[in-house]
Amino acid sequence: MSTTIAFIGLGIMGLPMAKNLVNAGFTVRGYNRSPQKAQDLAAAGGQAAGTIAEAVDGADVIITMVPDSPDVEDVLTREDGILAHAKSGAYWIDNSTIRPDVAKNLSAQAAQRGLKPLDAPVSGGEAGAINGALSIMVGGEQADFDAVSDVFAAIGTTIVLVGPSGSGQTVKAANQLIVAGNIELLAEAVVFLEAYGVETTSALQVLGGGLAGSKVLDQKGQKMLDRSFEPGFRLALHHKDMGIVTAAAREAGVAIPLGSAVAQLVASTVQQGNGGLDHSGLLTVVEALSGKNQS
């Protein structure tokens, strides 16, 4: 393939996504604030860029995968950033999870500079990024979505255009609301089962085969039983995402009573110093509320 992709942000999710693009035959130039991650991409067949300007120079597609709204705005608008150095007509895909209103605003700025923006947050965690099996919810124009379908296909399996700019981020906010609620209830169920001395691995197996089954149970249940909270998706980031969804719900005049309660529990876990844990570490606050010894 002749398409050159600039990939900005090579973290837990970004690096395996960029590697999958390399494996699909694209030329991928990566930039990361920690240069070693760009070298890791180079070792996998990509190219390391020392600056954003170097990464985006002449690129046909620019992908950003950074933590939060200010980070996206920074890499887009800074002096050596995307808007100043990307070629006109390039596609800008933002795989970050940010506020819908910020996504709309930045998309408009990008379009004014001749870029073709798509807000395209992803779901599936580190495992989905590694396996190229992410769910991608995309906001933008149909023609732009169609033009980069091969790029999306290299990193995801469920890829849906959900509306105009900002819509992808709105759907992602709903996704994070559902995931957080599932994780919280799974944590409560684990603590409940352990209190009764049930063989928990077997219990989760049978629960997973019924209506209680979910990807959250499949991917996070054993981590909770093992108290193994190495981050696939950090609680600090889910805390940020719950702030996005609660603010957006308030702006829309929509009540999310359970979501608001879970947002407070996520916030509590982060404030207790556990923001670096995987979001399955929400179990720790349930244990604390139950008077159990935290592991």
The DSSP annotation for 71-100 comes to HHHHHHHSTTSHHHHSPTT-EEEE-S---H
Q: In this structure, are 10 and 110 located in the same domain?
A: yes
Domain annotation covers residue 295: no
Active site residue 172: yes
Q: In this structure, are 21 and 72 located in the same domain?
A: yes
10 exposed, middle or buried (CB, 10 Å; 0-12, 13-18, 19+)?
buried
Query: Given the structure tokens 């091969």, which residue do they identify?
Result: 150
Q: In this structure, are 14 and 126 located in the same domain?
A: yes
Give tens-digit pLDDT for 150-205: 999 999 999 999 999 999 999 999 999 999 999 999 999 999 999 999 999 999 99
Q: In this structure, are 101 and 160 located in the same domain?
A: yes
Q: In this structure, are 160 and 177 located in the same domain?
A: no
pLDDT at 232: 87
For the record, the structure tokens of 68 come out as 């939060």
Query: How far is it, in rounded angstroms, from Cα 215 to Cα 111?
Result: 37
Q: In this structure, are 115 and 23 located in the same domain?
A: yes
Domain annotation covers residue 225: yes
Domain end call among 164, 184, 210: 164
Number of Cα atoms under 13 Å in the Cβ half of residue 261: 8
For the record, the structure tokens of 143 come out as 């023609």
pLDDT at 294: 54
Domain end call among 138, 164, 190: 164
Q: Indicate which CATH number applies to the domain containing 234.
A: 1.10.1040.10
Q: In this structure, are 101 and 178 located in the same domain?
A: no
pLDDT at 2: 76
pLDDT at 22: 98
The parent domain of residue 176 ranges over: 171-289
Give tens-digit pLDDT for 209-221: 999 999 999 999 9
Start-to-end CA distance of the chain, whole Å, equals 50
Domain annotation covers residue 239: yes
Domain end call among 104, 135, 164: 164
- For 43-55, letters b (16+ CB in 10 Å) and e give ebebbbbeebbeb
Q: In this structure, are 232 and 145 located in the same domain?
A: no
Q: In this structure, are 135 and 235 located in the same domain?
A: no
Q: In this structure, are 251 and 116 located in the same domain?
A: no
Query: How far is it, in rounded angstroms, from Cα 174 to Cα 177?
Result: 5
The structure's pTM equals 0.92
CB atoms within 10 A of CB 205: 13
Structurally, the chain folds into a number of domains equal to 2
Q: Indicate which CATH number applies to the domain containing 30.
A: 3.40.50.720
From the candidates 19, 172, 220, 223, give the one annotated as an active-site residue: 172
For the record, the structure tokens of 291 come out as 């008077």
Distances, alpha carbon 71 to alpha carbons 149, 197, 272, in Å: 26, 46, 25
Domain annotation covers residue 177: yes
What residues have CB less than 8 Å from 239, skipping those under 6 apart?
A: 263, 266, 267, 269, 270, 275
Assess contact for 130 and 16: CB atoms under 8 A: yes
Query: How far is it, in rounded angstroms, from Cα 119 to Cα 140?
Result: 7
Q: In this structure, are 66 and 148 located in the same domain?
A: yes
Domain annotation covers residue 294: no
Domain annotation covers residue 20: yes
Residues of the chain with pLDDT under 70: 1, 293-295
Q: In this structure, are 158 and 214 located in the same domain?
A: no
